[in-house]
Structure 1
Amino acid sequence: MKNMKCKRFSKLLLLLVMSINVGLLQAKEIQTKLTWFNITTLSFRVNGNVNELYVQPGDYIKKNQKIINLDQREYLENVTLTKSLFKSRKSELDEARRELERATELFDRTVLSEHELQTVKNNFISSETRFVTANTNKLNAKRELEFSNIVSPFDAVVVDVKVKKSETIVSTFKAMPAVIIAQANKLSALFKLSADEKSKLKRNDVVKVVVAGASYEGKIFFPTLLPENDLYPVGVEITVSHDKIHAGMAARINF
């Protein structure tokens, strides 16, 4: 009886040791560095001279906060001009429409010939075409004025500013990078895993991230599903206060 108990205890102990070893084998620790999260390059889509720089690297900015603008005088003049022309073309179109209504009525009463009616119709079509063109020009002028400003698309930290005050921006053929921003109060840690290791993780899985002796909760995300030399990029998103930790600091990830 005593021997049976000893054998049972030995088996239980063996199973416990095996489970601990399996757990140790499954656990993984990654050494990496923190990087910016959702890093984004903002560019000008119109030409002009830099008028004002409202930020510098390290600044925290709110969504829709102005970052940089170009000299807007030419764009403002164009908005005023195209608005005025649009109003004029609209008046012409309204008058052409009234003329067409009158001509149609006279034609129905056989007072106007078919040729005369067609002439009025052609005038209406021309007026309509000029109106559509004027409306398009007005909208384009408004859009270009908006494009002469760069505003933040989200709450962000300014990582780098690529332009200087009074610098000439030429974006006719290619958008010119102006400022680099990253998501405020978030950092990421990037690393690579084999296909088998990656398959054990899911998006939004919670993992432990240790930075400068402090522990943080991070969420798994996958920057891309394309492997690099048979290894898959994996990221961890961390919500933080940038005055405590920042990009470039060493991080240890346990999962």
Structure 2
Amino acid sequence: MRAAALRTLLALLLSASAAAAQELSARLEWVDRVEMRAVANGVVDKVLVTMGEHVEAGDLLLRMDQREARASLLETQAQLARGVVALDDARRELDRAQELFDRGLIATEELKDAELGHAAALAEHESERAAVAAAEVMLERTELRAPFTGIVVERNAYDGAVIYTSLQQAPLVAVAPTDRMLARALVTSEVLRRYRPGQEAAVIIRGERRPAAVYSLGVEAVRIDPAGAVYELDVVFDARPDEILRPSEFVKVVLP
């Protein structure tokens, strides 16, 4: 009798727990979406990806015409080389002036002039080094590379397209990660107040239940219904490498 009573109690507890859980309709969204644009006016030399293509972190997605950036880099490198020669000359002149001063053959003013000449050459050398570094950065920025492993979700550039940074409304390429996805449900403020980021949850995808966690809670209402304001509640879960999940697919979110 006691064992039967325990089984009955356990069944009631499980039933109550299941009843307390909420199963909500939700839709899939990307966890992140990085939109990539050109940082300088130019012409698209080559687009190397297509919509829906999977890319690895660091993969080249798009390359702008690099001729002007390469010419600028060569010019600054040449200036730096000339600056190195000038700095060496100024250092030798300072050493010579110091030696003559130590022997009492020149005045203090002449030594100071040599010191000032060396300081000016050193400052010019540092400025030229900075110019080379800036030119290298501008050359790097003619290439758009994948910031992480993911999928190309938008492509608005084509070979030969002329790009003006002030007129870029849409990104040239957009990339989203595929290792995690969001399931976004719409809930009332009463439901929203019950949860905090990090709480355990679950997602039901194509009949399969998977572990998840509350990711974020909406701050501004997405709409106002007769029953009250409606907010977004996001849960995050790990996606599998071999599956294809797309935004706006409908799933179920289970909240405790």
**Pairing of 1:97-112 with structure 2 (within 5 A):** 97-112=91-106
Q: Is the 8 A contact 1:169 1:176 kept in 2?
A: no
Residues 46-72 of structure 1: CA deviation (Å, up to 9, x unaligned): 331111010111111111110001100
Query: 1:118 — aligned with what?
Result: 112
Q: Is the 8 A contact 1:187 1:240 kept in 2?
A: no
Query: 1:249 — aligned with what?
Result: 249
User: Secondary structure of the residue that 2:195 maps to in structure 1?
Assistant: helix
1:177 is displaced (CA, Å) by 2.8
- Match for residue 45 of structure 2 among 13, 37, 51: 51
Q: Is the 8 A contact 1:43 1:175 kept in 2?
A: no
Paired residues in the alignment total 244
- Match for residue 185 of structure 2 among 169, 185, 191: 191
Name the TM-score, length of structure 2 as normaliser.
0.82
- Match for residue 170 of structure 1 among 164, 173, 192: 164
CA distance in 1, matches of 2:186, 2:102: 79
Residue identity matched to 2:195: K
Query: 1:240 — aligned with what?
Result: 240
Query: 1:217 — aligned with what?
Result: 210
Give unmatched runs, 5+ long, in structure 1: none
Query: 2:226 — aligned with what?
Result: none
User: Measured at CA, do residues 216 and 13 of structure 1 come closer, stay the same or move farther in structure 2, by a change above 3 Å?
Assistant: closer
Q: Is the 8 A contact 1:227 1:233 kept in 2?
A: no
Q: Is the 8 A contact 1:75 1:144 kept in 2?
A: yes
Q: Does 1:146 align with 2:140?
A: yes
Name the TM-score, length of structure 1 as normaliser.
0.82
User: Measured at CA, do residues 40 and 93 of structure 1 come closer, stay the same or move farther in structure 2, by a change above 3 Å?
Assistant: same
Which deviates more, 104-113 or 50-59? 104-113
Query: 1:181 — aligned with what?
Result: 175
Query: 2:20 — aligned with what?
Result: 26
CA distance in 2, matches of 1:237, 1:78: 47
Q: Is the 8 A contact 1:216 1:238 kept in 2?
A: no
CA distance in 2, matches of 1:176, 1:112: 68
RMSD: 3.1
Q: Is the 8 A contact 1:218 1:239 kept in 2?
A: no
User: Secondary structure of the residue that 1:163 maps to in structure 2?
Assistant: coil
Query: 2:73 — aligned with what?
Result: 79
1:208 is displaced (CA, Å) by 3.3
Which deviates more, 29-38 or 58-67? 29-38
Give % identity. 21
